[in-house]
């Protein structure tokens, strides 16, 4: 069977050392099909940037790769595209790995808020290294760029794609080279909560976990829900630091969720 062509859209508004590492990794990929690399460096919203790249793609399979995510090995592309032999597959998702040296650089509070991301995780669909069938993306209207600037568009597209076909999770991993400081973690919590609030406003009860979003956004009630959410069996020594940060994270979540819910838009960014 002829290998499907793949277009890799690299989102890199601020080209840096990571982009050089990405390009070096992409050149080493073992892949017999046609491939092209599209670098998007314009300073727009994430969803808009990805859409611009997808619309330029010439191949049937299009891949979004964030500018701070490095394919972990030379078989990443092949493994990510392989499931599309099944015509029912509409998207595939890379696992995401935090570099251990990034973890070691964090202070105790940063570690407490990042412990769930330590090692390798499998996201539902987060665009960091995801592949899509281009015809299906066009069919669903691409990423929703009018409502989501930097968060929420991933779950929105997951809902739309999963109604049409299968989302698969092959043996493909990207190294996420993005150091999240304490200040950025708070901003990220606010941003993601704003996206979640927007999604709940759009999908209502069809949005998985909608009721938890409402509960977490209620003063004190949400604080109580956050206390047991820490993976204490994995890393107990940072639990006191986690508890100390909970009031701040709770306020960030409340503010973001309700802003997204009432405005029906996600606009916050993190720097």
Give pLDDT tens digits along the chain (271 positions).
678 999 999 999 887 889 999 999 999 999 999 999 999 998 889 999 999 999 999 999 999 999 999 999 999 999 999 999 999 999 999 999 999 999 999 999 999 999 999 999 999 999 999 999 999 999 999 999 999 999 999 999 999 999 999 999 999 999 999 999 999 999 999 999 999 999 999 999 999 999 999 999 999 999 999 999 999 988 999 999 999 999 999 999 999 999 999 999 999 988 7
Supply the pLDDT for residue 233.
86
Distance of CA 252 to the CA centre of its chain: 19
Write out the DSSP string of 34-75.
-EEEEEE---S-HHHHHHHHHHH--SSEEEEEETTEEESSTT
* 145-181 tens-digit pLDDT: 999 999 999 999 999 999 999 999 999 999 999 999 9
pTM over 0.85: yes
23: part of which helix (H) or strand (E)? helix 17-27
What is the distance between the terminal CA atoms of the chain, rounded to a whole angstrom?
Answer: 45
- Domain ranges in the chain are 6-176, 182-263
Nearest alpha carbon to residue 133 among 104, 166, 97: 166
* Fold topology of 6-176: Spore Coat Polysaccharide Biosynthesis Protein SpsA; Chain A (3.90.550)
């Amino acid at each position: 069977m002829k290998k499907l062509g793949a277009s890799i859209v690299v989102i890199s508004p601020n080209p840096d050392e990571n982009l050089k590492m990405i390009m070096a990794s992409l050149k080493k990929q073992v892949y017999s099909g046609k491939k092209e690399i599209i670098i998007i460096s314009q300073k727009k919203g994430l969803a808009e940037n990805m859409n611009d790249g997808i619309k330029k793609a010439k191949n049937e399979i299009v891949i979004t790769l964030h500018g701070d995510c490095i394919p972990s090995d030379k078989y990443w592309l092949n493994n990510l595209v392989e499931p599309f032999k099944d015509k029912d597959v509409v998207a595939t998702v890379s696992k995401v790995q935090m570099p251990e040296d990034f973890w070691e650089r964090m202070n105790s509070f940063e570690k407490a808020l990042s412990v769930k991301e330590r090692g390798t995780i499998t996201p539902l669909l987060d665009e960091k290294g995801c592949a899509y069938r281009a015809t299906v993306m066009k069919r669903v209207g691409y990423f929703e760029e009018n409502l989501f600037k930097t968060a929420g568009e991933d779950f929105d597209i997951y809902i739309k794609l999963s109604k049409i076909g299968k989302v698969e999770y092959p043996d493909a991993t990207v190294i996420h080279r993005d150091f999240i400081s304490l200040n950025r973690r708070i901003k990220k919590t606010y941003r993601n909560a704003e996206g979640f609030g927007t999604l709940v406003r759009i999908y209502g009860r069809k949005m998985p976990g909608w009721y938890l979003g409402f509960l977490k956004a209620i003063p004190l009630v949400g604080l109580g829900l956050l206390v047991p959410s820490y993976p204490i069996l994995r890393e107990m020594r940072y639990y006191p630091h986690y508890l100390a940060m909970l009031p701040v994270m709770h306020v960030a979540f409340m503010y973001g969720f309700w802003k997204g819910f009432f405005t029906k838009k996600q606009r916050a960014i993190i720097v």
